[in-house]
Amino acid sequence: MKEIEICLGLDTKTPLTARSLSGWSALTGLKARRQLLVAHYFDTPTGLLARSRMGLRLRRESGSWVQTFKAESTGLERLELNHRLAQRQASPRPSLLTEGLPSKEQLLALGLKRSEVTTLLDLETLEEQFQVEVRRQTWGLAWGRSQIELAFDQGILRASDQQQAFTELELELNAGQLDDLFEAAQSLSSHLETLELKAYIEPRSKAERGFQLAASNLRKTKGARPSSKAKGSPRKLGLTKSHEPQSPSTSDVLSLHLQIAVDRLSQELIRVLETQDPEGPHQARVALRQIRTLFKLLVAAGLVDPSARLEEKASELADALGELRDLDVAEEKLLRPLESQLSFDAAVTAAAVAISEQTNRVRESLRQRLLQHDCRRFVLTVFQFANSLKGHVGLPGAQTFANQQAALFRRRIKKRAKLEPTDENLHRLRLGYKALRYASPVLLKLGADASLAEDARRAAKAQDRLGNDHDRAVMLTTLQRALGQQELPSHHQDRFLALAQGFLIGMK
């Protein structure tokens, strides 16, 4: 069976209760069912299931045990296989059964190699990795022509001595229309806003978060570094598995790539919310650039109304992320090297403290923005639109369309390359290279000439070179603006900026 759900994550300290949640109009007159669920998740010692975005659990439900196998799919779907164990096996924790696993053919169809299938079907290789304890309240509600289950979960992930609390709201489509699920999620998100509660789209399953916790625990206890395979992004690997028909329509290709991009965006926004990793804002902006490029193609294909302003909204979110990204780059490439070489200089030390404080303020302001309904609404809207494209008739001349768009991207680059090489013009040229690079996988899938692949490779190299130039061009301005927001003595500020400018000249 397929499980289709939308999950909203909340801070564990959020004062959300079933009583305040019942104020949502969709729950009027409905009573909640309460459950205490305890689940045990398994994997091979090498993390086969985690790498493949799959999960295998044993969970006690209403006095009996259920073995469940799940596999992530594109977008919001998960493939799910449930096997209820006999009551006589409901001892402290029963053994896994091969009957509760997909067949060899099904596992191969999910993208596993034959050797991996053999390993997985040998239950002796599976070890418990973590547990999940959940206090759950559920409501069955009608929305439009659909039946939807709302689950309010408060629980803990446990992996040895590591644990992670979570609070989340899951909306699962039991029967009916996918659009109804999105509309219900938008309405629930709006209700949380009226309660002044912060929430975010949670794209990670409990299995994915649990495997991450177990991996971090292993590194902490053994000091081990993950293998090169373990470092790969399970999310990215899973999404590149194609479930498309042999000859996909224009809309199917655009739908798949848009789902991949918005899924990546939701993952990276989580990284911005939970860590200070500078790659979070950077990769979120990359995903937004991909989304904007895809919307330009959709407008050109006549599959989206420009008045929806989705590209504009993506641009606004990218600008907000850009402020933090610019500070991260300036700190990494300019401030830290200056600190290491001039640690004795009072002006450098004072500026470093002031810039760090401003970066933290910008990061916190961005996080608050990402927890607002407007951000959730944008992500959900793009997800919904991507799903609505499935099965659309599309364009009859996909190959012609693809070559026309590729030619348009090339002409734009040539035109910008002829302009005077100012910082602004070079930045616009870089954006042209980015657009061609991000559009090329879609256009090639639609039948564009193979030469576009080589153009995309050259565009990636040119983009990187111009990116370094752009970083140098904005670093000093970024730091100057950051210092302007802090109460730093003018003599310290002037000396630091003079030193920074000299350092930049040396970099060039």
Residue-wise pLDDT tens digits, 123-146:
989 999 999 999 999 999 999 999
pLDDT over threshold 90, residue 150: yes
How many C-beta atoms lie closer than 10 Å to residue 2's C-beta?
A: 9
- Residue labelled with tokens 């002037």: 494
CB 40 within 8 A of CB 58: yes
* CATH superfamily, region 250-507: CHAD domain (1.40.20.10)
pLDDT digits (tens, 9 = 90+) for 38-89: 999 999 999 999 998 899 999 988 778 999 999 987 667 788 899 988 755 4
Measured between alpha carbons, how far is 185 from 177 in angstroms, rounded to an integer?
Answer: 13
- Residue 290: the pLDDT is 94
Measured between alpha carbons, how far is 122 from 114 in angstroms, rounded to an integer?
Answer: 13
- Residue 394: the pLDDT is 62
Q: Of 494, 432, 483, whose CA–CA distance to 458 is shortest?
A: 432
Listed in sequence order, the residues at least 6 apart from 486 whose beta carbon sits closer than 8 Å to its beta carbon are 354, 355, 357, 358
Looking at residue 225, what DSSP letter applies? Answer: P
Measured between alpha carbons, how far is 339 from 344 in angstroms, rounded to an integer?
Answer: 8
- Residue labelled with tokens 């979570």: 166
Higher-confidence residue of 161 and 143: namely 143
- Residue 131: the pLDDT is 94
pLDDT over threshold 60, residue 205: yes
**Among 59-73, 189-203, 391-405, where is mean pLDDT lowest?**
391-405
Query: What are the residues facing 59 on neighbouring strands?
Result: 39, 66
For the chain, the C-alpha Rg in angstroms (whole number) is 25
**What average pLDDT is seen over the chain?**
87
CB 206 within 8 A of CB 170: no
Average pLDDT over residues 197-224: 80
Measured between alpha carbons, how far is 216 from 226 in angstroms, rounded to an integer?
Answer: 9
- Residue 237: the pLDDT is 28
**Among 117-126, 394-403, 430-439, where is mean pLDDT lowest?**
394-403
- Residue 191: the pLDDT is 94
Sign, CA dihedral 19-23-24-29, equals positive
pLDDT over threshold 90, residue 221: no
pLDDT over threshold 90, residue 318: yes
Percent of residues, the chain, with pLDDT higher than 70: 90
pLDDT over threshold 80, residue 228: no
pLDDT digits (tens, 9 = 90+) for 341-363: 898 899 999 999 999 999 999 99
Average pLDDT over residues 423-447: 92
- Residue 218: the pLDDT is 62
Higher-confidence residue of 423 and 7: namely 7
- Residue 260: the pLDDT is 92
Tell the CATH topology of 2-237. Answer: Hypothetical Protein Pfu-838710-001 (2.40.320)
pLDDT digits (tens, 9 = 90+) for 101-121: 999 999 998 889 999 999 999
DSSP-based three-state secondary structure for 322: helix
How many C-beta atoms lie closer than 10 Å to residue 503's C-beta?
A: 18
Q: Of 494, 464, 461, whose CA–CA distance to 480 is shortest?
A: 494
By the 10 Å C-beta count (0-12 exposed, 13-18 middle, 19+ buried), 105 is classed as: exposed
How many C-beta atoms lie closer than 10 Å to residue 326's C-beta?
A: 21
- Residue labelled with tokens 């780059």: 329
* pTM of structure: 0.86
Measured between alpha carbons, how far is 28 from 121 in angstroms, rounded to an integer?
Answer: 46
Query: What are the residues facing 39 on neighbouring strands?
Result: 59, 132
pLDDT over threshold 90, residue 6: yes
Listed in sequence order, the residues at least 6 apart from 460 whose beta carbon sits closer than 8 Å to its beta carbon are 433, 437
Q: 419-448 burial, b if ≥16 CB within 10 A, otherwise e?
A: eeeeeeebbebbbbbbbbbbbbbbbbbbbb
DSSP-based three-state secondary structure for 198: coil
Average pLDDT over residues 141-166: 93
Instruction: Write down the domain spans for the chain.
Output: 2-237, 250-507
pLDDT digits (tens, 9 = 90+) for 229-287: 333 333 332 333 333 434 557 788 888 899 999 999 999 999 999 999 999 999 999 99
DSSP-based three-state secondary structure for 279: helix
Percent of residues, the chain, with pLDDT higher than 90: 57
How many C-beta atoms lie closer than 10 Å to residue 223's C-beta?
A: 7
